[in-house]
Amino acid sequence: MLVTQESVVTEAQNGVGWIKLNRPHALNSLNVEMVAAIYKQLKDWKQDSRIALICIYGEGEKGLCAGGDMRTLYDLKENGVEAYAEQFFSTEYPMNYEIHRYPKPVVVYMNGIVMGGGVGLSIGASHRIVTETTKWAMPEMNIGFFPDVGASYFLNQMPGYIGRYLALTANIVKASDVLYTGVADCYLESKNWPKLRQAMMEKIWSLDSAEQEINQLLKQYSLSSSPPSSLLSSEQEKIDQHFQFETIEDIVSSLNTTAEKGDKWAEKTVNTLLSKSPTSLKVTLHQLQEGKDKQLYDCFEMEMNVAMNFMKCHDFYEGVRSVLVDKDRAPKWNPAVLEDVSEEHIASFFHYSWNNEQNPLTTLTGNKKYSC
């Protein structure tokens, strides 16, 4: 049984439901059609007793998924961007949430680029596989946006203040760090993926034993490989020292004080922060503070409001322009400095006036996480 969507290919075989992101020319970045197709298929297979296991992967060698298709939002700036954004986010976020609480094992092959929306696809899965080519990031700060797809929840689950650090710097990390932060479960050399995939395809899977048997297969194919030591683990003390503060200004001040004493890591980190949108920095820190005590579904509901308000924000379009359109990497943020971004302005991002007076994600309930 083979069903082909424009950018998603799904196939059911021997009890495995395969979902392939099939847009390699765009690094498998997600558009409305893709998230709708994935969401529908997940819901269909959830009820199908013939499907015991789900596997999600990306076509091509470059990566699982580079994120959401932000260029489309930019192009619609003057012509219906809020309607498109509402359709996109109100489908993507429930799709992400569905993976978090899926009643069957979900395997995600996180080879190559796994960023933004790609993180949203993988973070809630029960079996998350990284390789020597994995490049993981929440890069939204680079385009004047904010880390979404449930980041308010999962970044707060990372050790110490690493979640804040990765959100605010948008730094790219590799497999060892992805494992250290708890957002992946298994390391596999990419040369072994075809063998693992073939073994999964040849096996007859059943609901009763799928979890145990996928655990055994992953152990078998990953036995001979182990990632290098985590860089983030060696930086944990510095990260916690500087990113514990409750305002961006205090974080910057702490880093500057250490940089003035000759610390190159602090100097590089503060320069990275100051290159980002002041508005995005402050919204993101507030988002993570708000998300710390929220359930996952509440985080998605909050992020829906924030995402829609960014569709009215100068810095989002300027960020996309500088990275994806003109590619000059020279954004002109407005306001340009942290001091000019008021608390009232930041608070306004967390309230959005919906046409029917109800956030479309208020229907998300429960917070069951399938565990392997």
Catalytic hit among 140, 185, 211, 318? 140
Give yes or no: 202 in active site: no
What order of strands is seen across the sheet that includes strand 53-58?
2-4, 8-13, 16-21, 53-58, 106-110, 127-130, 186-187
Active site (annotated) includes residue 124: no
Q: How many CB atoms lie within 10 A of CB 308?
A: 21
Catalytic residue among 148, 185, 303, 318: 148
Question: For 281, phi and psi rounded to 5 degrees?
Answer: -60, -50
CA distance 81 to 73: 6
Please tell me whether residue 53 adopts helix, strand or coil conformation. Answer: strand
Report which DSSP code applies to 342: -
Task: Give the number of other Cβ atoms within 10 Å of residue 260's Cβ.
Answer: 10
Whether 344 sits among the annotated catalytic residues: the reply is no
Residue 274: enclosing H or E segment and its boundaries? helix 264-274
Point out the catalytic residue in the list 15, 63, 117, 144.
117
Give the three-class secondary structure for 2: strand
Report the alpha-carbon distance of residue 11 to residue 1 in Å, rounded: 6
**What are 121's two structure tokens?**
């696809």
Known active-site residue 148: yes
Q: How far apart are CA 364 and CA 192, in angstroms?
A: 38
Which residues participate in catalysis according to the annotation? 68, 117, 140, 148
